[in-house]
Amino acid sequence: MTILDGKKISNDIKAEIKAEVDEMKAKNEKVPHLAAIIVGNDGASMTYVNTKVKACEKVGFESTLVRMSSTTSEVELMDKIEKLNKEDSIDGFIVQLPLPPQIDTQKVLLAVNPDKDVDGFHPTNFGKMSLDMTSFIPATPFGILELLERYDIPTKGKHTVVVGRSHIVGRPMSILMGRSGFPGNSTVTLTHEYTKNITQIISQADIVIIAVGIPDFLKAEMIKDDAVVIDVGITRVPDETAKKGYVLKGDVDFENASKKASYITPVPGGVGPMTIAMLLKNTLLAREQRRERK
């Protein structure tokens, strides 16, 4: 069994990005600039955004963090997005989710300029991705593709089962694994909460990609020997014996599933670090595309 070490691979990617940025600086070119809007004081969101800002510093990007109160109106947020769309110095930006209930998330995602949508959530980018056209791929699926590629895991002709159909992970992953090229060319089954005989379907999978947010959902007996297991889930589970009062659990019963799998991602340290690395990669692509357009 091989651990898919997202922490190591993400550091490799950041080092590669930093080398490109250093080259830009040497040529007196503008370096990539990533902005993030966060609305409210959600603890997990704040931690995630701060991690993104630190990652920008590490690779030499410029970064801007726009904080807005939890009482921000939809109109105020849309005004801020429009300013970032027009701000020439900013190459890409994200709106951190979730948003407060008074704001329509779909309306907000539609308002982001697709050329600056480094999260890859805009329908324009999603549509281009579906048609195998150049686009920003959502960072988590992009990270999973990169892990499969860098560990040279065969995907051609394999049966990939995706568990979960979110717009952020499950659905794009099902499209990407079925596309032409590598990683891809696999036969994909997309499963969800209403799928009948889900255990039977998973047991036939060469590759399982799971993102349902249910700790230890995927048991060892559900996968076949030598399956590749990609665990996207991460949940805080209360644990009085732990220093922080909780432990982080994935969607996979790692301890037992790892004894059967050929490759498996740990939680934490698997898909999570890859997400931020690929957000940086998308921002670098955004800078290069803007330079080419000019």
Q: Output the domain CATH number for residue 92.
A: 3.40.50.10860
Asked, for residue 194, whether it belongs to a domain, the answer is yes
- Low-confidence stretches of the chain (pLDDT < 50) are none
Active-site pick, 80, 96, 116, 281: 96
How far apart are alpha carbons 191 and 174 in whole angstroms?
10
Q: Are residues 165 and 234 in the same domain?
A: yes
Q: Are residues 155 and 256 in the same domain?
A: yes
Asked, for residue 279, whether it belongs to a domain, the answer is no
Q: Are residues 145 and 264 in the same domain?
A: yes
* pLDDT at res. 43: 81
DSSP state of 242: S
Q: Are residues 268 and 143 in the same domain?
A: yes
- Whether residue 234 is annotated as binding a ligand: the answer is yes
- Catalytic residue check, 96: yes
Domain that holds residue 75: 28-113
Domain end residue (candidates: 79, 113, 147): 113
* pLDDT at res. 259: 97
- Whether residue 127 is annotated as binding a ligand: the answer is no
How far apart are alpha carbons 30 and 151 in whole angstroms?
33
Q: Are residues 155 and 105 in the same domain?
A: no
For 174-204, write each residue's pLDDT tens digit: 999 999 999 999 999 999 999 999 999 999 9
Asked, for residue 289, whether it belongs to a domain, the answer is no
How far apart are alpha carbons 17 and 25 in whole angstroms?
12
* Cis? peptide before 268, omega within 30° of 0: yes
Please state the domain count of the chain: 2
* pLDDT at res. 44: 79
For 123-179, write each residue's pLDDT tens digit: 999 999 999 999 999 999 999 999 999 999 999 999 999 999 999 999 999 999 999
Asked, for residue 95, whether it belongs to a domain, the answer is yes
- Whether residue 165 is annotated as binding a ligand: the answer is yes
Q: Are residues 47 and 100 in the same domain?
A: yes
Specify the CATH number for the domain of residue 164: 3.40.50.720
How far apart are alpha carbons 163 and 47 in whole angstroms?
27
Asked, for residue 148, whether it belongs to a domain, the answer is yes
Q: Are residues 146 and 266 in the same domain?
A: yes
- Whether residue 210 is annotated as binding a ligand: the answer is no
Q: Are residues 146 and 268 in the same domain?
A: yes
Active-site pick, 52, 116, 158, 249: 52
Q: Are residues 232 and 194 in the same domain?
A: yes
Active-site pick, 5, 91, 119, 231: 119
Asked, for residue 84, whether it belongs to a domain, the answer is yes
Q: Are residues 144 and 101 in the same domain?
A: no
**Is the torsion defined by CA of 82, 173, 210, 11 positive or negative?**
negative
Q: Are residues 41 and 108 in the same domain?
A: yes
Contact, 239 vs 272, CB < 8 A? Answer: no
How far apart are alpha carbons 101 and 199 in whole angstroms?
35
* pLDDT at res. 47: 86
Reduced 3-state DSSP string for 181-206: CCCCCCEEEEECCCCCCHHHHHCCCC
Q: Are residues 158 and 48 in the same domain?
A: no
Asked, for residue 132, whether it belongs to a domain, the answer is no
Asked, for residue 187, whether it belongs to a domain, the answer is yes
